């Protein structure tokens, strides 16, 4: 399926967002061997989130556009929360309250069919080429000892990825939806240990990442 792309609306590390048909946008992955897998994975996550009643734009399918792969979404009009807060400091309290409400809603959402965060972190630790084997073993042991859970984690939740009216139904974008343990303090400590290691570069696979 092909059609004429509309204007470029946004661009990230791995994808661009173009205007599409009336009321829709096309998130178009940049050419890469993993792009097709990433598009279908993100579309599946988005469809599941939509079915759960979460405030995400409706997803209408994955398409090929020439040699590239993309996902069709409903277009959400308006600026992001970040843009509005930067433009007018008086809007910050209300927008922060809305962000908190969205985050709490995510943490109340059981999501047993998404990829687990422990699995994702274990993969990333294994790919950290500058971590020694002892350090990797300690991190993986700490990760394994953490409780399992079924709460939903957006994994890219920030004001640039929330659009729409603050007083009605704001929408979350760019979901990397995964399960996370219910008890988060140990997880945060583990992430801090990994990210705080001097001169460590985690070689994440591009097909695990989504548009930001």
**Residue extents of the structural domains in the chain:** 8-74, 81-208
pLDDT on residue 202? 35
| Domain 8-74 = CATH 3.40.50.720 | no
The string of DSSP letters for 143-170 reads HHHSPP--EEE-SS-SGGGEES-TTS--
95-138 tens-digit pLDDT: 999 999 998 888 888 877 777 888 888 888 888 888 889 989 99
Task: Quickly state the pLDDT bin for 174 (edges 50, 70, 90).
Answer: low
For helices 117-126 and 133-145, angle between their N-to-C axes, nearest 10 degrees: 170
């Amino acid at each position: 399926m092909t059609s004429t792309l509309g204007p470029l609306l946004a661009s990230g590390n791995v994808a661009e967002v173009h205007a599409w048909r009336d009321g829709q946008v096309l998130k178009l992955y940049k050419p890469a061997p993993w792009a097709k897998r990433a598009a279908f994975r993100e579309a599946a996550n988005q469809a599941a989130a939509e079915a759960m009643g979460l405030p995400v734009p409706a997803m209408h399918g994955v398409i090929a556009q020439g040699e590239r792969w993309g996902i069709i979404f409903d277009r959400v009009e308006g600026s992001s929360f970040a843009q509005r807060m930067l433009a007018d400091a008086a809007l910050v309290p209300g927008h922060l309250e809305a962000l908190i409400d969205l985050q709490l809603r995510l943490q109340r959402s059981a999501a047993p069919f998404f990829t687990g965060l422990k699995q994702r972190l274990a993969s990333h630790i294994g790919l950290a080429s500058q971590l020694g084997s002892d350090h990797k073993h300690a991190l993986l042991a700490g990760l394994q000892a953490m409780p399992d859970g079924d709460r939903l984690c957006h994994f890219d939740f920030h004001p640039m990825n929330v659009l729409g009216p603050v007083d009605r139904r704001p929408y979350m974008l760019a979901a990397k939806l995964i399960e996370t343990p219910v008890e988060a303090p140990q997880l945060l400590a583990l992430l801090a240990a990994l990210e705080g290691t001097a001169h460590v570069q985690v070689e994440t696979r591009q097909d695990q990442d989504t548009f930001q």
